[in-house]
A and B are shown apart, each in its own frame.
Chain A
Amino acid sequence: MTNTATPRPAEAQRRAGRTGPAAWPYVVGFLGWLLPGLGHLVQRKYDRAGIFFVSVAAMAGLGIAMGAKLYVLPFGEGQGMFVGLLHVLAFLGDLGAGLLFFLGWMAGFGRDYLARASGDYGTVFFLCAGLLNLLTVLDAYDIAVGKKD
Chain B
Amino acid sequence: MHLLAQPLVLSHFQALALFAFFTSAVFAVISHRTWRERAKEFLWTFLLFVVVGVGLGWVMYLFSR
Contact = CB atoms under 8 A, between A and B. Distances in A.
A129 to B, nearest CB: 8
B18 A112 contact: no
Contact of A132 (B4, B15, B26): B26
Contacts, number: 69
Contacts of A55: 22-23, 25-26
A122 B1 contact: no
A40 B18 CA distance: 24
Contacts of A116: 7, 9
B12 to A, nearest CB: 8
Interface stretch (A18-26, A56-64, A82-90, A91-99): A56-64
A122 B3 CA distance: 14
A135 interface: yes
A147 B36 CA distance: 21
Given A48-B29, A55-B22, A135-B30, A66 B9 contact: yes
Interface string B40-63: 000000000000000000000000
B2 A114 contact: yes
B26 A52 contact: yes
Contacts of A56: 22, 26
Interface of A: 48, 51-52, 55-56, 58-59, 62, 64-67, 107-109, 111-112, 114, 116-119, 121-122, 124-125, 128, 132, 135-136, 139, 149
